[in-house]
Structure 1
């Protein structure tokens, strides 16, 4: 792979965007490589968490505008191109494993959308976020219509989309876009510390939690989902082992890093 680094170590996959000439823009070649990596994460049971980040002080500058300008596609061509993006984006958002985004520098346009696919978003003080599409007469893509309102609420999502303004790290923390802020030199360490905790977590429980939170429905539907999910989780060996460890005062297999 030329435009991303992808490695798996001790149950944690790390996907690093690395195209410094474009500040890690999501050009066609990079999107194809991301699709391959996401497929590996989705299908390899030994992978328990994914860290998503960028190299050289950049997360992702968004779509490759030079490529977009020269593509020469008609309406149907653009629909097909977005369909190719959506195939792996749907798999990434629907992963039954935790995704941790470690954002340093700009996460603009589709790059912001990519960051929002994560369950936990960590940022550095120099991280910047922008739904920049309106600046070039476009509408948000990369799943932003779905993900952003779920994070910041409908009114604020509209404001960020229609103003196309930049959001710094501190504001991102206040809005709930970022979960934590860390110095650049500590970002990767913190992201991987969180990811490694899930190597000891119940894969069944993690998957059920992610699916339940993502589900839409009324209270009755939520409670039915809860009952079904808990019944499944109660039947796992991981639950039995964790309860035994608790009763015997042994260390728990899953513990969030402080």
Structure 2
């Protein structure tokens, strides 16, 4: 897996997967998605691995989807976009259903699908400079990769809708308050703490751990969310607002949708 833009390491009974693509800020490009799928398959096949740590290098966790790749595939129709979504969802489904603990060590930006990736973890550890954002609305899309399933279970339905519809950034401190992050650590302490937490499961009963995760999950709701996300995204990918928003992003222009609106319309005058 040395050709992939990430690192796979063993630390005792822990697997450490580090996203490492400085040029894309660890975005989920096709090589990154394929590499992650291989890594998760390797973890599943090795029963000596008792926990998985996900981390990001270069001061970012994961910048989200590959917008250049999305733009290049703009000619796809609904069925093509839906199949593309199903393929991407596979990685997130495998992480959410993994029968071993998953720990996300978030330092820097976790944007879009990068936020969704962090939400697949059982435990999220963050640094003070971590930033979380479901940025999909900024490019005319809906949250995907399981975020519509995971986020409401953590922060509640109303706050989840607010974060999804506003596409606003959540600081590390607010992430702690909302329950998105479990602990805050300085950058130098983040990975050691994540590995220590993961290492504690080396002596735990694998069966008991897997059963706790299975009991706490809601597979039916998860699958329904994945299907709804795929269908909704297949529609959104074909819209003019999405394509224009991607063009503006690639041209380094500010997005049309901003929260809060920097130029709000004045309130209508009351009539007598």
Q: Same fold (TM over 0.5)?
A: yes
Cα distance, 1:67 vs structure 2: 1.1
Would you say 1:154 and 2:162 are equivalent positions? Answer: no
Residue 177 of structure 2 is matched in structure 1 by: 174
CA distance in 2, matches of 1:27, 1:142: 14
Distance 1:151 1:145 in 2: 11
What does 1:85-124 align with in structure 2 at a 5 Å threshold? 85-124=88-127
**Cα distance in 2 for residues equivalent to 1:111 and 1:205:** 29
Q: Which runs of 5+ in 1 are unaligned?
A: 218-258
Match of 2:215 in 1: 212
Contact kept in structure 2, 1:42 and 1:91, CA below 8 Å: no
- Higher RCO (C-alpha 8 Å, min separation 6): 2
Give 1:142 shift: 1.1
Aligned with 2:55: secondary structure? strand
1:51 is matched with 53
Q: Which runs of 4+ in 1 moved over 2 A?
A: none
> 1:216 Cα shift?
7.1
The counterpart of 1:42, out of the listed 25, 41, 44, is: 44
**What number of residue pairs does the alignment pair up?**
217
Alignment pair present for 1:78 and 2:81 = yes
Distance 1:9 1:52 in 2: 13
Are 1:192 and 2:186 an aligned pair?
A: no
Displacement after TM superposition at 1:92 (Å): 0.8
Q: For the residues of structure 2 that align with 1:198 and 1:216, how far apart are their CA atoms? A: 24
Partner of 1:24: 26
Q: Aligned-pair distance for 1:86? A: 1.7
Please name the residue that 2:242 is paired with: none
8 Å CA contact 1:48, 1:97 repeated in 2: yes
CA offsets, 1:43-102, max 9 Å, x none? Answer: 210100000000011000000111111113221111111111122221110011000000
The Cα of 1:111 is off from its aligned counterpart by 0.2
| TM-score (normalizing by structure 2) | 0.78
> Quick one: distance in 1 between partners of 2:219 and 2:97?
14
| Alignment match, 1:12 | 14
Larger mean CA deviation between 77-86 and 97-106 belongs to 77-86
Cα RMSD, aligned residues only? 1.1
Secondary structure of 1:199's partner? helix
How far did residue 132 of structure 1 move?
0.3
- Give distance in 1, aligned partners of 2:219 and 2:167: 28
**Aligned counterpart, 1:138:** 141
Distance across 2 between alignment mates of 1:137 and 1:189: 38
Tell whether the 8 Å contact from 1:124 to 1:169 is kept in structure 2 after alignment.
yes
